[in-house]
Amino acid sequence: MPRPKEFTVSLTAGDRAKLKKVVTSGRHPARMITRARVLLAVDETQGPAADRRVVPEQLGTSSSTVYLIAKAFTEHAGRVEDVIGRKKRVTPPVEPKVTGDVEARVIALACSQPPAGRARWTLRLLERQVALTEGIPPMDHSTIGRVLKRGRLSLT
Distance between CA atoms of 34 and 133, rounded to whole angstroms? 54
> Is residue 154's pLDDT more than 60?
yes
The share of the chain scoring above pLDDT 90, in percent, equals 35
Dmax (CA) for the chain in angstroms is 90
Of the pLDDT bands very low, low, confident and very high (cuts 50, 70, 90), residue 21 is: very high
Give the chain as a 3 state SS string: CCCCCCCCECCCHHHHHHHHHHHHHCCCCHHHHHHHHHHHHHECCCCCCCCCCCHHHHHCCCHHHHHHHHHHHHHCCCCHHHHHCCCCCCCCCCCCCCCHHHHHHHHHHHHCCCCCCCCCCCHHHHHHHHHHCCCCCCCCHHHHHHHHHHCCCCCC
State mean pLDDT over 124-136. 91
> Is residue 35's pLDDT more than 80?
yes
pLDDT at site 1? 43
* Pair 100, 86: CB distance under 8 Å: no
State mean pLDDT over 126-151. 91
> Is residue 47's pLDDT more than 80?
no
The share of the chain scoring above pLDDT 70, in percent, equals 96
State mean pLDDT over 43-59. 81
Instruction: Write out pLDDT tens, residues 60-89.
Output: 899 899 889 889 988 888 888 888 888 888
